[in-house]
Structures are given as C-alpha cells and as structure tokens.
Structure 1
Amino acid sequence: MKLFRVVSATLILGLLGPAQLSQAQLSQAQLSQAQLSQAQLANAHRDPLSTRTYAASDAVIANPERGFYHHTETHYRADGSGYTPLDLATLQGFRTQESVTQILRVFYLEKFAGADKLDRAYLDLVRADFATARAAGVKVIVRFAYAQPPGWPPTTPYGDAPVARVVKHIAQLAAILRANSDVIAVVQSGFVGLWGEGYYTDHFADPADPSQVSDQNWADRRTVVLALLRALPRDLMVQVRTPYMKQRMLGLPTGTQGALSPDQAYDGSAAARIGHHNDCFLASPDDFGTYLSDPIELDKDFVAQDTNYVPEGGETCAVNSPRSDWPSAAAEMERLHFSYLNTDYNRDVLGSWGDNIKIAQQKLGYRLSLVRGTFTARTKPGGAVGVGLDLRNDGWAAPYRQRKVQLIFQGDKQTYRVDMPADPRRWAAGTTTTLDRTVCAPVRPGRYRLLLNLADASPRLDDPAYAVQLANTGTWRPATGYNDLGHTITVEGRGLGGGCGAKPQLIR
C-alpha cells in the first residue's frame, strides 16, 4: 500500500542512517519522510495489518449491463395502434427468476417514416417505458427502426425514412434519451433499413441491390450515427451493426491498427463511443455479411481489440455446426469480449450448448471477484487506513459504463463512504487488478465493518439492483448492494489523525 511503502522508506532512513544509503535511496527516503507528518508515520507503522483471502462463487449473478437479454419490441402504426408498453411484473420476473437484468427494446416508428414530427403521445409512451424499466431494476439496450418485412424475402419499398427526417426524429428523441440515460445500457445505431440493421433500405443503399452503398449513402449513414452520438450524453455509447460501418464512417483501417488504443479509450471521441453488435453471430464464416475484410480475421482482430473498451453483443441466428457449437461459440465470445446475448433467439443454437449455457450466463460481460484483501486493523479517529484489494475479472469483457468505487465504513450507528479513484472499465477480462489506497478513518471512535460498493454512476440509481455483486461466497449484502470485505477496523484513542487522503462522508 502507498502509505506503508512510504513508511518503509522512512524507517530505513531512521534505522540505517544517511551514511549507509545510496544517494538514490537517501533521496527517496527523504522525500517520503517529507510527505507525511510524524504523527501519521507513527500511526501507520504501529497499526497492525490484517490479511484475508476470499472464496469464489459459481453462481449466476444478476449484475447490470451484462449477461443474456430478453428481446422486446413495440410499434406505432399510422392510426397510433400497436404500442405495447413494458410490463413491470414481467421485467421484475426476468431479474428474480432468470437473473436477466437487461432487455433489448426496439421502438418501431412506422407512423413517422413519412412525417417529420413525432407525436407527443408517442414520446410519452417511450418515456413511460424507461420509467417502468427503472422501477423494475433493469437496463435497456435501445434501438429505433421504421419497418419490419411482412414476409421473406423482403421486397421494396422497405419503409424506412430519408436521412433528413431521421435526423429530425433523433433531435426530438434527444431529451428523452438524455433524461433516461441512467437506465440505458447502450444505444444501437438503428433507424436505417429493416429492423434498423442497416441493410434493406430505401434511402441508404440501392434498394434494388442493398450491397451497393454509394459514397453519398455512406455520408448519410455517418450523419445518422453522429447525430445520435450528439443526442446522447458523452458517457453513452452507440453500437453499429458491422465493423466496416465504424471503419468507413471514421476513416479507420481494419485489423488492430484501426482499433482503439488504451490512450484513446473513454476520451469522448466518436471512435471511443462506437461499439459493435452482431445479430447473426456464428451463422456462417462471415456471420452473414458481418465481416467484410479479406481475410475475415482482420475484421475480427479489429473487433477483438476495439471491444477492450467498447461494448459487443448480439444474437445468434442460424445453426451452423461446428461454428455455432459451444467450443467455437465460447472461444469467439471470449475473443470478441461479448457483454450480452439474446436469450430468445436462436433457440436451436442456444439449445445445442446444453449445460454450457450456465458458463455463458456466468461469463458474458464482466465477472468480478475478490481474491485477497489487506487492511489496517486499528487506527485513531481520522487516522490512516490502508486498504489493498486484489480483484479478478473472470468474465469475457470489462464493464463498459462508468461506475463508482466506494469504500464503506459501517458502524453500529453511523455509516460513512469514501470514494476511491478507480475506473472498473479498465479492469480487463482475464486480469487481476490491485486497488491500493490509503484513506482516513471516521472521526467517531468505534468498530466499523469495511464493505465495497460498485455503484452506478448516476445518483438517480442509488439502488442495490444497479450495484455490482462480486462473485464470492458470503460477501453480498442485498439490502444495501454492498460487498462485505470481511474485516472490521477499530477506531480508538485520543487526538485526530491527518494527512491521510480522502476523508469519509457520512451517509446514514
């Protein structure tokens, strides 16, 4: 821990003396000594440490913004019919009975393909759906589209809207999307083509041959995606249907060369906010046109690198053994950092995975667990508390939305919170992250249980349903959404410590 490393340097200086140290060691020891007061140093090296390990759990956990999702859709036809509001009890059942915490909501805009203005009644219905999702403790993967085909194969006209009208509709939806961004997991680019998947379209490709997309068509597609990015808060991402869409719109090469770097991640740029969804996952060698590079592996390399920092998800759509069999599916979801997958489709593909479906339930998205913890055992009021935590991510992806990391001091009468400077979006799949912090103890003497809160970034979602449960046995506290670190610190003695960093805030 930082505090204890500083103390060690000071003790070396005191025990050995300047003559027995190299110049570099002496400079470091003197700098360390200057950084802390003598009182803090005395507290830090005197106070004992406690170390413990944690047992991992194999439970399927209902954590936000990850896992399987249920598909939902609603319509708004020319006469205003077809809208089916979300049902609170159904959404609550997804959480409690299936550990499913998210839905895809496709909002079909049939009535407005030929009209610039969205009805107030329609906007109220969309707004109400988000309120229902919030009450149920679920998040929404959002997509807007204008049309579904009445049969197969689809025929022209397909029924979507021209670019100018799409941009006007996005502008009218912006206020609702911003106001409800707390319960939106991610927004799919949508709008263009049947199902909002960007292929069968009247206005963004040649309707007679949708594979022919002109330069102007690409410019119009880019206009739609950028308008959607502008309509959303900077911390919300947009997913496009194929990697080439992102590459073409932003002028990026395929392969790892064009993908996000750690320095670019989360910088608010379009590249850092555009992720991927694959709605024909495993269906053919190129997933029915999802991958266009030659060789295909270049596009997969692009997505594999990109999705370290942006979300990937989708659905299976056809049995294609052996590619759609479990060994291939698991390897690809791990490689491409899948955060979510449709549980409703394709049932034949999912059924072929057998009992391995539980592994997907565990590993889609992030799966964070405590490995080891080291803590100060006792300190004086306001004194230094060292906390060292090793957390493992055994999921296939990192969290992709911002999240608070908070250390909780829970006493018999009062509870305090300390915000930790950590970003779970950087806790990459398959890695162990060490949180190594020194914070101040509460000034009120007593015994305090230490807990970890991985809370939603939105103050509006101060709700256990939106907190992250760590994959350990005996640590989850469902009433608060906290994870019990299994350590109690004693705060006692006279006088006040100081200079220890972040101070706790009383929360109850």
Structure 2
Amino acid sequence: MKMRRALSLLLAPALLLTMSAFSHGGVQCAGSSAPLVPQGLNYTENPVDVPNPDRGFYRANDGMVVPVTGQGSGTVNVGNSPVTVGGAVVNTRISHIYFDLRNYSSNTFTSRGTRYTASYRAPADVSIQSRPGDKPPYAYATHFDYWKANVLPTWPRGTSQPLTADALAYIRAKLQEVRNGNGVTMVRFNYDGLGYSWVSVEHPQDGYMDRSVADIEPDKATVLQHIAQLKPILHEFEDVIMGVDGGFFGPWGEEHSTTFGTSPQAYAWMLNALLDAVPESRSITVQGGAFVSWYNAKYHTHYTFQNIDKMPPPKAGTPEARFGFFNDSYAYGEDEGDNYPNDWGSLSEGAGWPGNPLGAADTYDRGRLMTWIRKQNNLYGGEAQGDATLWNTYPFVGWEAAYAQTVYLNADYEDSVHDRWGDFTYTKDNVKQKMTNAYEEPYRTEYATFDPLYDGRTGAEYFRDRLGYRLVLRDANASGWVKQNGTLEFDGSIQNVGFGNIVNKKNVSVVLKSKADGKSYTALTKIDARNWRPDLDSRASNTAAYRDLSFAIDMHKFGNVPVGDYDIYLKINDPKETTPNKRSIQFANNGEGIWDADLGANLLGSTTVNAANDIPVTRIKPGNGQVDLDFAIGSSNGKGYSVYLKKADAPGPFTLYSNVNYNSKGVHIKGLTNGTQYFAYVQRNAGGKTSRTETVSFTPGHR
C-alpha cells in the first residue's frame, strides 16, 4: 500500500532542551552556521539573597476579613521592605493571604465575647468539680465545661450565605495589590482566620486545655457554593497566585480538629471542588490526611500512614500531581519519651482521626511521611514553631529541608526557631555532626552535606538562600555569529542549588538585546524549567547535578533582527505575566551585568547577527528511507554545498550529514529512518560568502 505523509516547510526548527547532566566544552558544532564560542562568564554562585517568585520566606497577611458590604480593611504586605529572619536580611516575594470568611458561616464567630482564660471562673453559685471547696452534686466537671455550655453560645456569629458582590470585589482588590507589586501570593480561605474557636490555656483548676471548641464551617452546600464563586477570581489572577491552600476546614483553615477537618469523606468532596476551581497550572497545598483521604476516594485504594511512602509518584498531568503540603508546625517533633513522635499534629494530621480511618496515631513515621512529600515534588512549606529539639535545629533541619524539597516558610513565625538558625555557625565541624535522630531504615541518613560556599555564615543565611529553587549558570557556549536567516545555537549547563524545585510552569524565552541601540527581540522556547531538578548535594563540585541548557532557534522566531552585535539573555517568567519584567527568575551567579532588571532576564553571552543569503527550497519529496530537496543549485556536483540534519526530537545542534547525492535539481538525502521526523537545511560556501536554505521538515515513508 502506498502512503504519502504530509510535509511542511518550517521557518523554525524545534526549540530543544535535554535533561542529561554533563559538562559542555566550548567547541565548534559541526554543521552550525558558526562555531560555538565559550562566553567567559562567571559561573560561580554568589551567596547572597536573590529574591525570586514562588520561593523563599513569605509575609503572613492575617486579618483579611471578607466583608458582606463595603470595602473591608487590611493592606497586603507585598514584600516592598526587607525583613530580618534569624538575623539574615530577606527580601520576600511571597504574600500569604488568609481570606477570613467568618461572616459567611452561621457556625463561626465574628468576634469574641467573654473568653475562657486562666482567670476564668464559673459563677460561685454553680458547683464545679475541679474547683477546690465545691461539693456535689456538681453541675459541671470544669469551669471550661460551664463556659462552653453557657458563655460560648452568646458570642456573635456569621450567617451562612453566598459571597456578596462586595465580598468578591474585596478579594479581587487584595489580589490586585499583589499584582501591582513584584511578588506572588499563596491564598487561603477559611472560616476562622484568627482562631476564635481554639482554646489554649493552662488553667490552675481545670488543667491544660488545648482544643477546638466549635465546628466553625457552614454546611457542605455553602462551602461548595463559596468555592464555585471563587473560581473565576482564581483564574483571573492566575499570574500572581503561587498556589492555593486547601484551607476551609478547621481553626485558621489548617485542616484539623472539626468534624469536617477530621473526615475523609469531607476532604474528598472539598478537594474535588478545589481541583475544579483552581487553575490547572497551580497546586493545592494540604495536610497529609487530606490528600490520602482524597486519593483513596479517587482511586478506591486504602493507603494509611503506615504505607504512605508506598504511594506511587504522581505522573505529570494527573490530578494527584497538583497537591503539595502545608506544615503548620514545620520541623517540629519531640525527641523522645512519652510524646515521641508527637509533631503537634502537623505532619501526622490524619493519623488518629476518629475511628482511625488512616491509621492510629502511633502509625505515623516521619521518614515515611517525608518520603511521600519528596515523591510529590511539589510545594512544601509552612511555619516553623516549637521549643528546641533535634528536628528543628542544625544539622538535621538543613538536611531535611533538602530531602523534603522545602519551598517556602513564614518569615514572621516563629522567631525563636529562626533565632536558633541564626545562632548556628555554618562550618564543616558543626554541619558534619552525626544526626542521632535520623529516620529509620530504609530512609536513614546520619550525616548532612557541607557546602564550603557557606563556611562561616549562619544557618539562617543558608536557609534564606536555599529555600525553593536557586539557579546558577555553570557553562555557556553560543554561536559566535548567526545569519539573519540562520539558527542561533546555545550549549550550556545550569544547576539548581536550592532545596526545592520550580513547581509552576514558566515561559523560557531567549532575548537578543542590541549593543547599539538597546532594542530587544524575543523568541519563546519549549524549555521546561521544572526539569531543572535539585540534588541533595548542591555543591558546585557535584557536576552530576548540572542540568543541560541547550537550544537552537531559527532567527525568524525573533522577528526582523537588524545586522549587528547582540547580548543573549534568558528570560524565565509566568506564561500569563502582564508586565515586561516583574516576577522573572534571576540567576544567583557572581559577576557584573549578569542580571538585566529592565528585561527581567539573565545574560548568557553574546553573538553577531550577519546579513542573510537565502536559497529557497522549491520542493520536498520523501521516499523510502530518503528525501529529495529541490532548490536553485549552482553546481550539480555539489561543490561548496553541505547538508545539516537532525532528528526532530534529538537534543543539541544540527550535524553535518554526508550520505547525500547532488543533482541538477538539488540534493538527494539517503539512509533515513521511515516514520521519523527530521529537520534539515543546506548551506553553500562560495567565493568567501555563505548562504543557506531555510530549515525544512520531512518524514520519510513508503510511497
């Protein structure tokens, strides 16, 4: 049977990226229109604060109470001023906004009445069992029981209702404040943003009370209605939303304690609603129990905290790949004793829920849980807290941050933890102390990696710089010159020395900036920066962690680029960014002029654009393992002509291809694989001048 495949002339070859990890030499690539020239940039890391979107310390924005009528109040901290974390100066680029929906639930409190405190006492004429001197019959066991039954119901409450037009306008206005700045936001919607429903008191007669006192969420239908109303806003501000906390359930929206907050069934319907409402490009951060509940319902499995580490790594594009983890007690954990391995219910949230649907409390294992988080390869962060333990101090806290790929942390909480990091001097002797609290087998690691770049600095500085991704250009080789109708080629390597990954998809563009007049010309590539994965060993000496950065771009992609000298830049920003230079990713390299703030781009090198000499291709005729390219050939014996070829899905530049015959119509290319797409062009060198055809595409096949 004869078959003919569709053919097309391509004015641009594919823009290619490979992810193999190796060093690149500055050698000429055979078949390129110009040799690849080493660029002589500074390829070392500068250990200073490099503010970037979607990573680092964040500023918490509490008290954003969504109004029923009016404009509401509260100003978003968009990171315009530096903040000190453990003595390290940080320029934040994340605003964590907690939108408080207290006015939209009949079960939550809009303000506090008389509070249960250490000094609270029930009326003297009420007999309380815990009060010394009171006698039976006791009306209540504790002062707390009396307060909850008689005082708490008098507190003012909201009304379960749809979000009003003013409410939606308020949320939009706050997100616009973020867009007007130079940062991004994590957003959370909750019904008790200030924790009015939580009591934490050491009472001299009742003892220690640390618990939720009310189910503060509205009914299921109202929660789902609110999520549906928020969907258009989340899509409208996709460009500045880093991610969305699961929220909605529990005090502070931290997904614990209430009936919904401890229900696998409730998490299944709530997270399904969020998957629909949140743009597909953005992640949803949840507690472990919330995710496992959703996953079990979705795939009819029965994972628990005993086997959470056996959950398969999510495949790209699946709904499970969209979930990250928010830890409201980051790095905390008891060292030993009766409370071990208590972590204040953050990592272990879900273990020990009523009826133990995900396993009993003692089935939680830190190593298994952290291994699941590592497999998710998504957003991981939260807020550090707790007194000093082996878990939240060096060297373990730095090692675990890399293992779990920590992306972001609260700059405002908790100072005592941050100060311990700031007091830690980062030296080899201190970092290489044996970690006696290391995970159990098979995840046991007893020694952290020491990075000499930070020798003598503080643990807070190390954390500041390593949170999330941090990109260092390690090698750069670019076309020494390129014709206006040629192909600009680049071969280099990059290293992500951060704890975490680039989670959100980014546009990666190449920018040519004229050295004569400063005008710039941009071409979008198909490079996926999310593939620049970090390694537990972030040292510069670990060349196995270098990721390939290569591209070949037809000059037509840049538009009409005048002849002249140009600097080559790499610009990395959100696909929906609305400004020319905000929220772009900056490399952490040493050297002057690496970062162009006006472009929002990083210097890769320079090249010269020369005048074009086109040879038009008039016909492409494929055959069995072969193809004929017809063009106006000046010498039928092929003198001065060369064919450059590459498979469409192959990495790297075009290479010289010699299995050809020339004729009066052009060139006959042989030895090809049927069903494989190729790119090719023909170049002529005659009389000291170079000309070439456009790049064409073809797929050989049976005729």
Normalising to structure 1: TM-score of the pair?
0.81
Post-superposition shift, 1:351? Answer: 0.6
Identity among equivalent pairs (%): 23
3-state SS of the aligned residue for 1:331?
helix
Of residues 30, 42, 46, the one that matches 1:57 is 46
Q: Deviations over 1:98-119 (max 9, x none)?
A: 3100011111111101222112
Change (3 A) 1:81 1:349: farther
Is the Cα contact below 8 Å between 1:47 and 1:379 reproduced in 2? yes
- Is 332-341 or 381-390 further displaced after alignment? 381-390
Of residues 475, 484, 506, the one that matches 2:603 is 484
* Structure 2 residue identity aligned to 1:429: P
Q: Does 1:177 align with 2:234?
A: yes
Take 2:400 and 2:218, find their aligned partners in 1: how far apart are those partners? 35
Q: Please name the residue that 1:35 is paired with.
A: none
3-state SS of the aligned residue for 1:64?
coil
* Structure 1 residue identity aligned to 2:325: H
Take 2:37 and 2:595, find their aligned partners in 1: how far apart are those partners? 21
Q: Deviations over 1:442-473 (max 9, x none)?
A: 6532212111111222142x342300001112
Q: Please name the residue that 1:74 is paired with.
A: 63
Change (3 A) 1:169 1:451: same
Post-superposition shift, 1:316? Answer: 0.9
Q: Does 1:271 align with 2:315?
A: no
Instruction: Spell out the pairing of 1:34-433 with structure 2 (5 A cutoff).
Output: 44-45=31-32, 47-51=34-38, 52-53=40-41, 54-76=43-65, 83-87=72-76, 91-94=79-82, 98-114=90-106, 115-147=160-192, 148-149=195-196, 151-152=199-200, 153-201=210-258, 203-204=259-260, 213=262, 217-241=263-287, 243-251=288-296, 253=303, 254-261=307-314, 264-265=315-316, 267=317, 269-284=318-333, 285-289=341-345, 290-291=347-348, 292=351, 293-306=363-376, 308=377, 310-354=378-422, 355-411=458-514, 412-413=516-517, 414-430=519-535, 431-433=545-547
- Is 46-55 or 111-120 further displaced after alignment? 46-55
Take 2:83 and 2:276, find their aligned partners in 1: how far apart are those partners? 32
Change (3 A) 1:493 1:193: closer
Take 1:294 and 1:122, find their aligned partners in 2: how far apart are those partners? 40
Change (3 A) 1:166 1:42: closer
Post-superposition shift, 1:383? Answer: 1.0
Take 1:81 and 1:322, find their aligned partners in 2: how far apart are those partners? 49
Change (3 A) 1:490 1:184: same
Q: Deviations over 1:14-68 (max 9, x none)?
A: xxxxxxxxxxxxxxxxxxxxxxxxxxx9994562221135232112111000000
Post-superposition shift, 1:82? Answer: 11
* Structure 2 residue identity aligned to 1:423: D
Q: Deviations over 1:72-94 (max 9, x none)?
A: 11243888699433257x64225
Is the Cα contact below 8 Å between 1:255 and 1:300 reproduced in 2? no
3-state SS of the aligned residue for 2:169?
helix
Post-superposition shift, 1:287? Answer: 2.4
Change (3 A) 1:76 1:451: closer
Of residues 437, 440, 450, the one that matches 2:554 is 440
- Is 397-406 or 282-291 further displaced after alignment? 282-291
Q: Deviations over 1:302-325 (max 9, x none)?
A: 11211x2x1111111212322211
3-state SS of the aligned residue for 1:385?
strand
Take 1:470 and 1:410, find their aligned partners in 2: how far apart are those partners? 18
Q: Deviations over 1:129-186 (max 9, x none)?
A: 0111111111111111101236423452242222221111111111111111111100
Q: Deviations over 1:383-422 (max 9, x none)?
A: 1222112011000111100101111111234422122211
Take 1:404 and 1:323, find their aligned partners in 2: how far apart are those partners? 37
Change (3 A) 1:99 1:490: same
Q: Please name the residue that 2:152 is paired with.
A: none
Q: Deviations over 1:309-358 (max 9, x none)?
A: x1111111212322211212111111000000011111101110112111
> Which has the higher relative contact order, 1 or 2, with Cα contacts under 8 A spaced 6 or more apart?
2
The size of the alignment, in residue pairs, is: 444
Post-superposition shift, 1:237? Answer: 1.0
Is the Cα contact below 8 Å between 1:161 and 1:192 reproduced in 2? no
3-state SS of the aligned residue for 2:168?
helix
3-state SS of the aligned residue for 1:227?
helix
Is the Cα contact below 8 Å between 1:160 and 1:194 reproduced in 2? no
Change (3 A) 1:80 1:156: farther
Take 1:197 and 1:42, find their aligned partners in 2: how far apart are those partners? 55
Q: Deviations over 1:216-275 (max 9, x none)?
A: x3112211111011011111110112x2321221126444431424xx12x1x2201111
3-state SS of the aligned residue for 1:59?
coil
RMSD, aligned CA = 2.7
Take 1:407 and 1:501, find their aligned partners in 2: how far apart are those partners? 22
Is the Cα contact below 8 Å between 2:406 and 2:467 reproduced in 1? yes
Post-superposition shift, 1:294? Answer: 4.3
Change (3 A) 1:79 1:121: closer
* Structure 2 residue identity aligned to 1:50: V
Is the Cα contact below 8 Å between 1:64 and 1:102 reproduced in 2? yes
3-state SS of the aligned residue for 1:466?
coil
Q: Please name the residue that 2:114 is paired with.
A: none
Change (3 A) 1:81 1:325: farther
Structure with a larger share of its residues in helix: 1
